[in-house]
Amino acid sequence: MNQIANGWEEYEVIDTGNREKLERWNKVVLRRPDPVAIWPIRSEGEWNRADAVYHRSNKGGGYWETKKPVKENWTIGYRDLRFKISPTGFKHTGLFPEQAANWDFTMEAIRERKAKSDNPVRILNLFAYTGGATMAASRAGADEVVHVDASKGIVAWAKENMHINHLEDHTIRFIVDDVLKFVKREIRRGRKYDGIIMDPPSYGRGPNQELWKLEDQLYELVSECARLLSDDPLFFLVNCYTTGFPLSAMKETLTRVLVDTRGGSVEVGENLLPVTKGGVLPCGIFGRWTPKQ
């Protein structure tokens, strides 16, 4: 089951091709690399609209070439959410728009639960980046959202997004920590969550240089996180951008850890963005477990 994030108004993928994508972020048009766009571009003229172009460096990373004046940062809206956008030295902008489909799912699940029950809803967001899913869950009415990321700077960015969304009076706990170590401590504390979201990187290091490699540690992480689910959970959602990591491996992992012990069902698929000039842009995969209704 593939999912397309087609609810955007202030963001669009204008065109893709030649391993690049041309995007509009509110009123700013950016051109940056995307290795999956292996086809030719559709409209040569559109690419001249770019306000800034990202160039990769042979030494790693890269730099932005500005064609027109571009602010250091600005905001972009999705439904009733807003986020800070700022082009970084590693081509990213601080937001993954394809995740909007998962935000919609998360918000709907939380709102449905809140409409039926007075019990508090607690959500755990791991590898939480700048907090797109955190803000969505909090806006939907989650009583507590715990946001965990290993980067102090990225967590500071997430706090900015909290202020932009005027969610200061909501309970959001921001944690800078190695995810697996944090999860194991939460297990020892006996903490429980109704929904768990994770967006693990392919490779990385924690705040104390803890090594993370998705293929080696995903099953362990999912297994440990499953122990944090409440007795009446809403969902367990995993996103993955690791090139070549198969959907079948994602499905098998969630099935063995969750369906075999708790029942319910697993859906897997690709995250897609619509392209204005035609077609779609693949943006990683997702796996989602939900309990039996």
Are the CB atoms for 118 and 141 separated by under 8 Å?
Answer: no
Query: Cα–Cα distance between 181 and 178 in angstroms, integer?
Result: 6
pLDDT of residue 292: 87
- Tokens 């989650």 correspond to 142
pLDDT for 202: 81
Question: Rounded to an integer, what is the distance from CA 8 to the centroid of its chain?
Answer: 15
pTM comes to: 0.94
Residue 244 has a pLDDT of 83
What is the predicted pLDDT for the residue at 207? 65
Q: Domains for the chain: give ranges and CATH numbers.
A: 3-74+81-85 (2.60.40.1180), 97-290 (3.40.50.150)
As to burial, measured by CB atoms within 10 angstroms (0-12 exposed, 13-18 middle, 19+ buried), residue 103 is buried
pLDDT at 28: 98
- Residues of the chain falling short of pLDDT 50: none
Q: Is 208 helix (H, G, I), strand (E, B) or coil?
A: coil
pLDDT of residue 284: 95
What is the pLDDT, as a whole number, of residue 19?
Answer: 96
Closest among 81, 85, 68, 89 to 26, alpha carbons compared:
85
pLDDT at 210: 67
For 193-203, the pLDDT digits (tens) are 999 999 998 87
